């Protein structure tokens, strides 16, 4: 009996679905743009975003310049956002505020342009073009609408994006140390440049302490593989890095390792002097 009730319920739901699809196809084939417009709004409110976008796409060229075009274009951008087509959503939100700059919806559209790019931003270890574009767009939004209700959400998104870019930069710099077999002189020089750039770009990062320790280690290893005339200069530079490091991080977890490099650098300089 229980299985029979489930089967009847399944048939009822299937029938409703087929009826809904049939209604949508009829509207889609209709020449009545007002009917399509009303149906598109209704589908949007029912969260059937694909159907709404199909109908809106059909009528947007027809209603261009009319009173209803503004709302239709705004909802059209949102259909892509809700369908998780964030790059297309960002495009249509930008098109909206470029076209309807004086609209009451322009502020939200400008925010959603940046936020859609943020949602399109990939994991930190992938190419970050969308992240950088999102940062520019969201910061531009905050600058233009500092009192907007969307500012807290934009600020949080900016923080997330900065963390993502910071982690990618850290991984890129640390890559020189993960691949030990490539620690030649040129590679170590490149590592030192990467460490220096990271500190310039992210001076408040939680990774700076580790990066500054790795800088000591990289300079020491560079001294080891250097020609005789460069060794003393580079061991001395490793000592300078160490001294700068302990002034800032006197209780660092890397302190013992740094002290060993410092002592070894002093010993190597003594050898070179004699």
Per-residue model confidence as pLDDT tens digits over 237-249: 999 999 999 999 9
**pLDDT tens track for 23-43:** 888 888 888 889 999 999 999
Q: What is the pLDDT of residue 47?
A: 95
Number of other residues whose CB lies within 10 A of the CB of residue 138: 26
Compute the distance between CA of residue 187 and CA of residue 189 in angstroms, rounded to an integer: 5
The band of 14, judged by pLDDT with boundaries at 50, 70 and 90, is: very low
Biggest distance spanned by C-alpha atoms of the chain: 99
Would residue 103 be called left, alpha or beta, if left means φ above 0 and alpha means ψ between -120 and 50 degrees? beta
Question: What mean pLDDT is predicted for residues 234-238?
Answer: 95
Beta strand spans in the chain (E) = none
Question: What mean pLDDT is predicted for residues 183-211?
Answer: 88
Compute the distance between CA of residue 254 and CA of residue 180 in angstroms, rounded to an integer: 19
**Tokens read off for 16:** 């409703």
Number of other residues whose CB lies within 10 A of the CB of residue 68: 14
Q: What is the pLDDT of residue 63?
A: 94
Question: What mean pLDDT is predicted for residues 99-125?
Answer: 93
Q: Which of 11-15, 111-115, 180-184, 246-250 has the lowest mean pLDDT?
A: 11-15
pTM: 0.77
CA distances from 134 to 26, 63, 69, 117, 167 (A): 40, 31, 27, 5, 17
**pLDDT tens track for 31-89:** 888 999 999 999 999 999 999 999 999 999 999 988 899 999 999 999 999 999 999 99
CB–CB of 238/220 below 8 Å? Answer: yes
Q: What is the pLDDT of residue 53?
A: 96
The band of 143, judged by pLDDT with boundaries at 50, 70 and 90, is: very high
Compute the distance between CA of residue 129 and CA of residue 242 in angstroms, rounded to an integer: 36
Query: Tokens 């004086």 correspond to what residue?
Result: 102
- Is the pLDDT score of 4 beyond 70? no
In the chain, pLDDT over 70 holds for what percent of residues?
89
Q: What is the mean pLDDT of the chain?
A: 88
């Amino acid at each position: 009996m229980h299985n029979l009730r489930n089967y009847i319920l399944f048939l009822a739901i299937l029938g409703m679905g087929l009826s809904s699809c049939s209604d949508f196809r009829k509207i889609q084939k209709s020449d009545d743009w007002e009917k399509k417009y009303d149906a598109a709004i209704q589908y949007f409110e029912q969260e059937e975003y694909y159907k709404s976008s199909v109908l809106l796409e059909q009528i947007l060229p027809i209603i261009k310049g009319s009173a209803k075009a503004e709302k239709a274009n705004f909802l059209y951008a949102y259909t892509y956002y809700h369908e998780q087509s964030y790059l297309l959503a960002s495009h249509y939100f930008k098109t909206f505020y470029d076209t309807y700059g004086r609209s009451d919806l322009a502020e939200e559209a400008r925010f959603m342009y940046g936020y859609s790019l943020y949602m399109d931003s990939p994991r930190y270890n992938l190419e970050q073009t969308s992240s950088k574009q999102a940062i520019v767009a969201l910061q531009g939004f905050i600058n233009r609408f500092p009192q907007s209700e969307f500012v807290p959400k934009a600020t949080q998104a900016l923080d997330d994006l900065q963390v993502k870019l910071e982690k990618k930069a850290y991984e890129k710099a640390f890559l020189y140390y993960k691949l030990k077999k490539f620690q030649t002189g040129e590679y170590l020089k490149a590592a030192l440049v990467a460490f220096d750039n990271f500190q310039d770009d992210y001076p408040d990062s939680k990774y700076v302490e580790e990066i500054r320790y790795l800088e000591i280690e990289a300079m020491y290893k560079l001294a080891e593989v250097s020609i005789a005339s460069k060794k003393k200069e580079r061991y001395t530079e490793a000592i300078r890095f160490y001294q700068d490091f302990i002034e800032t991080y006197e209780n660092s977890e890397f302190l013992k390792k740094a002290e060993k490099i410092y002592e070894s650098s002093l010993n190597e300089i003594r050898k070179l002097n004699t």
